[in-house]
Amino acid sequence: MNDSMNDSRKDPKTSATETPSTLVVERLFPHPPEKLWRALTESTLLAQWMMNNDFAPVVGHKFQFRADPMPNWNGIVDCEVLVVDPLKQLSYNWGVGAGEAAGGLQWVVLWTLTPTEGGTHVRMEQSGFKPDQQGAYGGAKYGWQKFFTGLERVLGEVK
Asked, for residue 18, whether it belongs to a domain, the answer is no
Residue 77's domain comprises: 3-7+23-157
The confidence score (pLDDT) of residue 13 equals: 36
Q: Which helix (H) or strand (E) holds 125?
A: strand 119-127
The confidence score (pLDDT) of residue 93 equals: 96
The confidence score (pLDDT) of residue 9 equals: 39
pLDDT tens, position by position, 38-93: 999 999 999 999 999 999 999 999 999 999 988 877 889 999 999 999 999 999 99
**pLDDT above 60: residue 4:** no
In angstroms, the CA 125 to CA 59 distance is 18
**pLDDT above 50: residue 17:** no
Give this prediction's pTM: 0.84
Asked, for residue 17, whether it belongs to a domain, the answer is no
Average pLDDT, the chain: 86
DSSP symbol at 68: -
The confidence score (pLDDT) of residue 155 equals: 97
Asked, for residue 133, whether it belongs to a domain, the answer is yes
Q: Which helix (H) or strand (E) holds 105?
A: strand 105-116
The confidence score (pLDDT) of residue 98 equals: 59
The confidence score (pLDDT) of residue 159 equals: 82
List Cβ neighbours of 77 (8 Å cut-off, separation of 6 or more): 51, 64, 65, 66, 67, 94, 95, 96
Asked, for residue 13, whether it belongs to a domain, the answer is no
Highest mean pLDDT among 3-12, 118-127, 136-145: 118-127
Domain count, the chain: 1
CATH code at 89?
A: 3.30.530.20
